[in-house]
Amino acid sequence: MDIIVIILVSTIFLCVFGLCLKSGNKICKSKKRLDGRTCVVTGGTSGIGLEIALDFAMRGARVIVACPFDDEGKVAKEKIIQESGNTNVVYKFLDLGSFKSVREFAADIIQTENRLDILMNNAGVGIPDHKTTDGFHIIMQVNYFGTFLLTILLLPLLKKTGTASDPSRIVNTTSILHRIAMLNLDYLNPDVGCNLFKRIMYYGNSKLCLILFSRELAKRLRGANIVIHNADPGEVGTRIFDSAGVVIGFIISILILILSKTPFEGAQTPVYAAVDETAKKVTARLFRNCTMQSPSSAATDIQLAKGLWEQSVVLVKLSKQELDECLKEN
Ligand SMILES: NC(=O)c1ccc[n+]([C@@H]2O[C@H](COP(=O)([O-])OP(=O)(O)OC[C@H]3O[C@@H](n4cnc5c(N)ncnc54)[C@H](OP(=O)(O)O)[C@@H]3O)[C@@H](O)[C@H]2O)c1
C-alpha cells in the first residue's frame, strides 16, 4: 500500500513539474527568410542541431552541416533536403576534437563559400572521459577549444558578409550548467579518469568558457558587423546523455523528453538568437526560452574573459599574425 502511495505521489509530482517546465517552453516566432544566405551548423546532424539545420533550410538558406561521421552526415543531409524541399544542403566533415580537422574545415569554407551569415556553434559532447589526439580532455576540446578556433578562423568571412542593417551572427550553444562551473585558468585541460561529478563540472566549465569567449570576442569585434550570442536550449531529450552510460543515458533522455523539451523545442532558442530582429540589436547576450537572461556572475567577469582568451590563443596554437589577420577590420 505504502509503495503504491509513493509511486502515485511521485508520478503526480513529476507530471506537475513537467507541466511547469513545458509551460515555459517558447517557440521562435520570427518569419525571417534566409534565401541567399549561408549557414554553418556544427553538429547539425542529430538532436538539436539537426532541427536547427532543418529550420534554416526551410527558411531558404544554403545550409552546411558538419560532424565527425560521414555516414551520419550524409543521412542527415538527405533528411533535411527531403523534409525542407531545399536542395541547397551540404555535409562537410568536421571533428572539433582535432585542431587539424578544424583548420581544414575552416580553410575549405573560406575557399569555397562567398559568404557566411550564420555560424551556429551547436556541436558538443556530454560527459565522456578521454583525451583527444591533441592531448586535451575531450569535453574541453570539442565543446570549447575546437569551437573557439573554428570561430576565429571563420571571422574574415563573417565580417565580409555582415552589414550594418543585417549583421552576420555567431551563436554558441551553452547550458544552464555553466552556473556550476569552477574555472581555473591554470587547469583548462583537466586530466582524465575523473568521477561523474567532476565530468559534469568540466561540462559546465566548457559552457562557461563559451559565454566568456562571446563576451571577449564581442569586445574585440567592436565596429564589425557581427553579432555573437549564447543560446541555452533548455533540457532536451537527445543522445548527448549517452555518455553517462547507455542505460542511465537512455533513462535520462526519456525522462527529459517527457518532462521537458523535444529536439524541435530545444532548437527554438538557438534559432531565435540567429534570426530574430530583437536579438540582432544586442550582442554577447544569453538567451533561454527565446528570452534574454542574466548569466552567472563568473560569466560576466571581464578579467576572467580576458585571461581565458589569452590562454586559449596559446593552447589552440594561433599565431599572433594569424590572429591579427582574422581580427583586423575589413
Ligand atoms: N540536450 C540538452 O539537454 C542540452 C542542454 C543544454 C545544452 N545542450 C547543448 O546543445 C548542443 C547539442 O546537443 P544535443 O543535445 O543535440 O546532443 P546530440 O544529439 O548528441 O548532438 C551533438 C552533435 O554534436 C556533434 N559532435 C559531437 N562531437 C563532435 C565533434 N568532435 N566534432 C564535431 N561535431 C561533434 C554530434 O555529431 P555525431 O553525432 O556525429 O557525433 C552531434 O551532431 C550541445 O552543445 C549541448 O552541449 C544540450
Average confidence (pLDDT) over 125-130: 93
Cell numbers found for residue 118: 550564420
Is the model's pLDDT at 271 over the cut of 90?
Answer: yes
Is the model's pLDDT at 180 over the cut of 90?
Answer: yes
**Domain locations in the chain as residue ranges:** 38-327
Is the model's pLDDT at 104 over the cut of 70?
Answer: yes
Q: Which of 163, 253, 232 is nearest to 25 (CA)?
A: 232
Average confidence (pLDDT) over 98-120: 98
Is there a contact between 76 and 83 (Cβ–Cβ < 8 Å)? Answer: no
Give the pairing type, strands 286-288 and 291-293.
antiparallel
pLDDT tens-digit readout, 288-318: 999 999 999 999 999 999 999 999 999 999 9
Is the model's pLDDT at 172 over the cut of 70?
Answer: yes
Ligand 1 in reach of 65 Cβ (< 6 A) = no
Question: Which of 15-24, 26-35, 141-150, 301-310 shows the lowest mean pLDDT across its residues?
Answer: 15-24
Centre a 10 Å sphere on the Cβ of residue 170 and count the other Cβ atoms it contains: 29
pLDDT value, residue 329: 80
pLDDT value, residue 245: 76
Is the model's pLDDT at 121 over the cut of 70?
Answer: yes
Residue with grid cell 555553466, as numbered in its chain: 178
Is the model's pLDDT at 258 over the cut of 80?
Answer: no
Is there a contact between 110 and 29 (Cβ–Cβ < 8 Å)? Answer: no
Average confidence (pLDDT) over 70-99: 98
| Nearest 10 degrees: Cα torsion 153, 155, 158, 164 | 180
Confidence of residue 232 (pLDDT cuts 50, 70, 90): very high
Confidence of residue 204 (pLDDT cuts 50, 70, 90): very high
Q: Which positions ≥6 away from 220 have C-beta within 8 Å?
A: 309, 327
Residue closest by Cα to atom 23 of ligand 1: 43
Q: Give distance in angstroms: CA of 187 to centre of ligand 1.
A: 24
Q: Is the dihedral of CA 128, 175, 284, 35 positive or negative?
A: positive
pLDDT value, residue 241: 78
Which of 41, 75, 240 to mutate for ligand 1's pocket (most ligand atoms within 8 Å of CB)? 240
Average confidence (pLDDT) over 122-137: 95
pLDDT value, residue 60: 98
pLDDT value, residue 246: 75
Give the pairing type, strands 118-121 and 168-173.
parallel
pLDDT value, residue 194: 83
Is there a contact between 38 and 115 (Cβ–Cβ < 8 Å)? Answer: yes
Average confidence (pLDDT) over 183-196: 91
Active site residues: 203
Confidence of residue 256 (pLDDT cuts 50, 70, 90): confident
Q: Give distance in angstroms: CA of 125 to centre of ligand 1.
A: 5
pLDDT value, residue 25: 85
Mean pLDDT, the chain, as a whole number? Answer: 93
pTM of the full structure? 0.94
Query: Which CATH number among 3.40.50.9100, 2.30.110.10, 3.20.190.10, 3.40.50.720 corresponds to the domain 38-327?
Result: 3.40.50.720
Ligand 1 in reach of 67 Cβ (< 6 A) = yes
Q: What are phi and psi of 18, to 5 degrees?
A: -60, -45
Confidence of residue 1 (pLDDT cuts 50, 70, 90): low
Q: Give distance in angstroms: CA of 300 to centre of ligand 1.
A: 25
Ligand 1 atom at shortest distance from the alpha carbon of 176:
6
* Neighbour-count burial for 205-234, b at 16+ CB within 10 Å, e otherwise: bbbbbbbbbbbbbbeebeebbbbbbbbbbb
- In degrees, to the nearest 5, what angle opens at C-alpha 238 toward C-alphas 64 and 184? 85
Secondary structure of residue 235 in the 3-state scheme: coil
Which of 125, 130, 172, 176 to mutate for ligand 1's pocket (most ligand atoms within 8 Å of CB)? 125
Residue with grid cell 569535453, as numbered in its chain: 139
Is the model's pLDDT at 148 over the cut of 90?
Answer: yes
Ligand 1 in reach of 109 Cβ (< 6 A) = no
Is the model's pLDDT at 16 over the cut of 80?
Answer: no
Average confidence (pLDDT) over 205-229: 96
Is there a contact between 226 and 169 (Cβ–Cβ < 8 Å)? Answer: yes
- Extract long-range pairs of 179-184: CB within 8 Å, 24+ residues apart: 179/204, 179/295, 179/296, 180/204, 181/205, 181/207, 181/208, 181/296, 181/298, 183/208, 183/209, 183/298, 183/304, 183/308
CA separation for the pair 309, 131 (Å, rounded): 22
Residue closest by Cα to atom 1 of ligand 1: 236
